[in-house]
Amino acid sequence: MKFRRSERLIDMTNYLLEHPRQLVSLTFFSERYLSAKSSISEDLGIIKDTFEHQGIGTLKTFPGAAGGVYYIPKVKEEDAERILDDICLQMANPDRLLPGGYLYMTDLLGHPNMVQKVGKLLASAFASKEIDVIMTVATKGIPIAYATAAQLNVPVVIVRPDSRVTEGSTVSINYVSGSSKRIQTMVLSKRSLPEGANVLIVDDFMKAGGTINGMISLLQEFNATLSGIGVLVESEHAEDRLVDEYVSLVKLKNVDVKQKQIEVVRGNYFSRREVVTNENSEL
């Protein structure tokens, strides 16, 4: 059965959204819809324009026999601002204050919708980097890591504080936690990270950066390369920050336990991330 244009546009949109950063050949679509490649090309032009106009992302097309199309998720400037301000507002809710000045963030990180937005922002920030794998540490970084990985079409590896029998042989290192100055251990399954991989490190929270620094040491054991570091929240007052090149979505500026006030501002997302040219962006 031949597909009509309207049906092709709907199914292609779903297909491209499900396969980010993967080259899909014109032949594949042409056979899927029993339609001429010229029609498919026209469809892709309409999808590209709409994706860019609506802030969904962009399509790259490659001509020729081995050619095809490639969907890159990208968040529009104004949408990013709105999402970041929403996160700031939600985080500044004084109900989050826990004894010791800690913040309860489990509900925020529990909503797949919020987590997906965070993932799309981080994926946009590192869109032009070469990334083979996303690394995070158990437990809170995991949802953000998967959400970012889904947009970048790469696997996730999870570093743990202890080794498990189901992980096979592991590599373990000791590191010094930045804030408490305690010596801790982190472990990564040997076969989970291929030698020489380009790795994006993702986590939910960075204080002094000791944990992230530990992951960077772990990368060396695997001859892996650091492609970047992305965190949802960075805290201020980390004078001895162990990590200097990173992208943060929001910054915890001040927690006043007595006055029950939390001040949260945008992180360095707009200043540090890659400036990607995009016809429809405000940059």
Q: Which is nearer to its own copies, 129 or 275 (CB)?
A: 129
Does the footprint of its own copies cover residue 7 (CB under 8 A)? yes
Does the footprint of its own copies cover residue 138 (CB under 8 A)? yes
Burial class (CB in 10 A: 0-12, 13-18, 19+), 105: middle
* Spatial CA neighbour of 91 closest among 205, 211, 229, 244: 205
Residues 6+ positions from 170 with CB-CB distance below 8 Å: 163, 187, 188, 189, 190
Tell me which residues in 175-194 interact with its own copies (CB under 8 A): 189, 191-192
Does the footprint of its own copies cover residue 94 (CB under 8 A)? no
What angle separates helix 112-125 from helix 77-91, to the nearest 10 degrees?
A: 130
Residues 6+ positions from 270 with CB-CB distance below 8 Å: 80
Burial class (CB in 10 A: 0-12, 13-18, 19+), 208: buried
Q: Which is nearer to its own copies, 8 or 241 (CB)?
A: 8
Determine the interface stretch with its own copies among 53-61, 121-129, 210-218, 261-269 (rule: CB under 8 A). Answer: 53-61
- Interface with its own copies: number of residues (CB under 8 A): 56
Residue 75 CA to residue 64 CA, distance in Å, equals 29
Q: Binding mask 145-174 vs its own copies (x if CB under 8 A, - otherwise)?
A: -xx-xx--xxxxxx-x----xxxx------
Residues that bind its own copies (CB under 8 A): 5-7, 9-11, 13-14, 17-18, 46-47, 49-51, 53-54, 56, 98-100, 102-107, 110-113, 115-116, 138-140, 142-143, 146-147, 149-150, 153-158, 160, 165-168, 189, 191-192
